[in-house]
A and B are shown apart, each in its own frame.
Chain A
Amino acid sequence: MKRIALTLLLLGLATGAAWAEERFPPPEFETGYELPDTATPPPRTLTWERIDVAVLVLALSLATWLVLRKRSRRGVAWLGVGSLIYFGFFREGCVCPVGATQNVALAIFDSSYALPFCVLMFFVLPLGFALFAGRSFCSGVCPLGAIQEVVLLRPVGLPDFLERALRTLAYVYLGLAVYFAATGAAFVICRYDPFVGFFRLSGGFNMLVLGGCFLLIGVFVGRPYCRFLCPYGVLLDLAGRLSRWRVSITPAACVQCRLCEESCPYGAIALPSPRRDARARAAASRRLILLLVLLPLLVSVFAYLGSRAGKPLSLVHPTVDLALRVAAERDLSDAKASDETVAFRKTGETIVDLNVRARDRQAAFVAGGWWLGGWIGLVIGIMLIGLFTLPVRIDYEADRGRCLSCARCFPYCPTGHDRRRTLTGGAA
Chain B
Amino acid sequence: MSRTSRRDFLRGLTLLGVGAATGVGIVRAGQDDTVWQIDPMKCIQCGRCATHCVLAESAVKAVHVHLLCGHCDLCTAFFEPEPIDLNTGAENQLCPTGAIERNFIEEPYFSYVIDEPLCIGCGKCVKGCEMFGNGSMFLQIRHDRCTNCNACSIGDACPSKAISRVPASTPYLLKSTH
Contact = CB atoms under 8 A, between A and B. Distances in A.
A350 interface: no
Contacts of B74: 2-3, 5-6, 9
A115 B150 contact: no
A5 B72 contact: yes
A209 to B, nearest CB: 16
Contacts of A19: 68, 130, 134-135, 175
Given A13-B132, A124-B18, A117 B29 contact: yes
Interface residues of A, number: 79
B63 to A, nearest CB: 6
A244 interface: yes
Contacts of B148: 43, 45, 94
Given A116-B34, A343-B160, A41 B143 contact: yes
A133 to B, nearest CB: 12
B134 A131 contact: no
Contacts of B149: 94, 190
Contacts of A8: 70, 72
B103 to A, nearest CB: 10
B1 interface: no
Say what secondary structure dominates the interface of chain B: loop
A35 B66 contact: yes
A161 interface: no
Contact of B29 (A92, A95, A116, A190): A116
B70 A29 contact: no
A232 interface: no
B65 A38 contact: yes
B117 interface: no
A22 B26 contact: no
A83 B134 CA distance: 49
A23 B147 contact: no
Interface string B38-73: 000010101010000011100000011111111111
A235 to B, nearest CB: 10
Given A38-B66, A244-B8, 7 more contacts: A24-B133, A31-B105, A38-B64, A44-B146, A46-B168, A119-B150, A243-B11
